[in-house]
Structure 1
Amino acid sequence: MSTTLPTQRPDPAQLRRWRQHLADERAEAAIYNNLAHRRTGEEREILLGLAEAEKRHEAYWLALLGDRVGKPRRTDLRTRLLGLLAGRFGFVFVLALLQRAEGRSPYDDDPDATSTMAADERLHGEVIRSLAERGRKRLSGSFRAAVFGANDGLVSNLSLILGVGASGVPMAVILLTGVAGLLAGALSMGAGEYVSVRSQRELLEASTPDPRAHTLLPDLDIDTNELALLFRSRGLDEEEAARRAEEVLAGGRDQRTAIGGDVDTHEAVGSGLGAALSSFLCFASGAIIPVLPYLFGAQGIVAVILSAGLVGLTLLGTGAIVGILSGGSPLLRGLRQLLIGYGAAAVTYLLGLLFGTGAAG
């Protein structure tokens, strides 16, 4: 990293900016060290490498400041929040937040920062993106079922309660409808998710190479070389397939891996039981929310407002979490969830009013 330092005396604004950069670099290094101590193997080494890079940036600002370091400054709110979350929340959640933070390098427009430092920060964002992608793959199956289940429970039961309530039925019927919708929906979601994930895994497993295929090698006809056809069926061209077959037969490649293929545990799909349980619990936790005001005795328009308000806040929250974990905007994802949920509930409420009026007539 270039360490050519400004020769002119810094003004007060520069000193404040340099001290802030110093505080931020120290805080970010601490975050990476904190995360590294919770991981093992390659992920730990990568995070420690990022912490070391932040230390190099810290050294640059210390050299600029010299004897003008002054009192330690507090880092910005974003970095303090990341530091707090790093010790308390899931690894993937914190990495997703770091990915968004590293994607906005403060050095791009700072005349006192080197171009190398700005490039470092951008590259850190890509490293974090790759680490976060690993974690997303590990949780994507169950996470998808959990998010889908929670939002389905929120929207479907709110729509059900509002639609039935708008028809003018007694309060006891509305409450019974909400509880029945919760149980029926949760059981249906759990069973459906189990069948869906199991079916997907079975389809993937049917395409996985037979791990015992390498045992056929001693009996292959070397002249016709059926092995080359196997490699061609897996996407290699004729020349590359022939070369790979010769290497395997000559012992130049591990036969078990070359013939049977790498073991694929289909982590991104998740387990059927795990997805079913997540879906059941999350649907139930979502579906109970619109029922809560009725359980505590609220009636009429007050119950409707409370139910819709609780669901709205929860939709905003789940949408924001999805946005964070996917690297998108939490606000936009939350508003999208809110509009979709309220749109479905509004349509059902209007239909309930229509049918209730028709029945009364």
Structure 2
Amino acid sequence: MADADAFLIIENRSLGYRIHYLLQDFGYNKAEDIALYHGEFSFEEMEGTGEQKSQWAKNRLQTYQGSFMHFLRSVYANNTLENGFIVRPMYGYKRLKVDGYTIDPDMAVIKDRLVQFDSLITVIDTGFMSFKFSMLYVNYAPQKAATFALNRSDAKKNKYSDSKTSILKLATEQAIIDEKGSYTDYRDFYIHGNWARARVGDQLPVEYKPPVPDIPRGSVPVNPLVVAFQKWTDSIPQEKVYLHMDKPYYALGDTIWFKGYLTTGSSHQLSAISGAVHVDLINERDSVVKNLKLPVTSGMAMGNFILGDEYTEGNYRIRAYTQWMRNAGPVYFLTIHLPLAILAIGM
């Protein structure tokens, strides 16, 4: 496993985004050839000429079409086939070779009938949906999807895989998805094939809307027992604070420079709830030796601590929070989410 002590600043000049990414978990299973990573990120529009912005819009649409975000949005709307996804049930999968190789007939059975998503998705409320399945074979082929027959005989052994094929396996009891193509637990899915090759540079912000007409939604069954969940979430949005430090270690006489990012809930959008963020410098006796109250502008704040002669050597930590976050208690303060908050002074 691995993580990162500071935000990675990634400039995606193909899509026109500056991405602030904090890696929280990364693991690789060599035997299964599975990589699992998770992080918090926010997107910032890059400045560009009119010609650049036009090209970015084209590149963003191309990146979106056939992406995992596109697929989950179409699952939520129950119109996967209309969006160009041919989705078949699958079982017995072990390994899939792509780009011209045939699946080993002893390893997989792919049914050539389409998945009926009515049986896999259930509305929780107007904002979230439960998605339950075992394993899916997904091919993005808009032209084929337009004429694909709804019922065919099972195809066993010799299904061909191209560069737009992905295999999706549910790793948890259920996935909770929303209309933006987001899901609440990064551990929900095991992904193989095309989607597994996507990296941070292929990510789009959750608020991205493709410049194409909306496709009508399909009907989805409603589960009234959990409708209150989204209402509660909407009524009490959760803020998160992240600090980007100038370096991981400091000595007496240094200045700790940092930039803060304030986001809202699982959407990771810059927050407009709080106008100030509190940043505490705490010594090893758990005493606050310095407190800063910094103004927040467009979800961001900047500040510093000067480590003068009044400080002694020892282990310090930084804690950041807003007044709004106090409603949920200190468990939601930054120290839980940012390992860099433990500072070794004088090392």
Shorter-normalised TM-score: what interval?
Answer: under 0.3
For CA contacts below 8 A with separation 6 or more, give which structure has more relative contact order.
Answer: 1
The two structures have a TM-score, normalised by structure 1, of 0.26
